Chain A
Amino acid sequence: AQTVTQSQPEMSVQEAETVTLSCTYDTSENNYYLFWYKQPPSRQMILVIRQEAYKQQNATENRFSVNFQKAAKSFSLKISDSQLGDTAMYFCAFPYNQGGKLIFGQGTELSVKP
């Protein structure tokens, strides 16, 4: 069965600095996607970035980038130039190919301090 693990329940970073959130997963599939979602205090779930496993290039969206290591089954999120608005819970998620249900990690609560 697919599993997703986030080993950092809480992290904090100073404004303008860089922080990396870790995620590992387990799957027997070869082609798949991976996502990072952000949940700010407003509760809304927001897609931050996606990675397709067949692409060797790491995905980037503005200040957000991933370090995808397929062999190690690792999918970390790097946030550069952290802003106060980045304060949120971050979830790593793996979608089943059949049916597409998302398997979420436990989440990492990130605080950006001024």
Chain B
Amino acid sequence: DTAVSQTPKYLVTQMGNDKSIKCEQNLGHDTMYWYKQDSKKFLKIMFSYNNKELIINETVPNRFSPKSPDKAHLNLHINSLELGDSAVYFCASSRGGPSEQYFGPGTRLTVT
């Protein structure tokens, strides 16, 4: 019954590695997002997809690449991980536009 799910919930890896976070929603929403929450709890948009098309790409390093195989899934791949990538990453979905967003449980990424 989980509306927005993310895997894994915890990810510990070393600098230089490549990792992926997966997100799935079963709400029938057209739009999905990735947010980053830093160590001070500040939340910032990274990407947004609408019906598998990228519509928002904030100033995010090229090492981050989102992929949406269908409108229910939005994955985040990160290349050459750096210490500064350590954060909590949230996936969210909505009906689009300014409607409310429903969040996944978050993935805590720790880069050592």
Contacts and interface: CB of A to CB of B under 8 A. Distances in A.
**Chain A, interface SS category:** strand
A97 B50 CA distance: 14
Interface stretch (B11-19, B65-73, B74-82, B91-99): B91-99
Interface of A: 32-33, 35, 37, 39, 43-47, 50, 89, 91, 95-97, 99-104, 106-107
Contacts of A102: 33, 35, 43, 45, 92, 101
Contacts, number: 66
Contact of B100 (A47, A91, A96, A104): A47
A106 B103 contact: no
Contact of B41 (A32, A33, A99, A107): A107
Contacts of B56: 99, 101
**Chain B, interface SS category:** strand
Given A91-B43, A101-B56, A43 B94 contact: no
Interface of B: 31, 33, 35, 40-45, 48, 50, 55-56, 58, 88, 90, 92, 94, 96-103, 105-106, 108
Nearest to B33: A101
Nearest to A101: B45
B100 A35 contact: yes
B97 A97 contact: yes
Given A89-B41, A95-B99, A101-B45, 19 more contacts: A35-B100, A37-B103, A43-B88, A43-B108, A45-B103, A45-B106, A47-B100, A47-B101, A95-B101, A99-B48, A99-B97, A100-B33, A100-B94, A100-B101, A101-B33, A101-B58, A102-B92, A102-B101, A106-B40
A100 B45 CA distance: 10
B42 A106 contact: yes
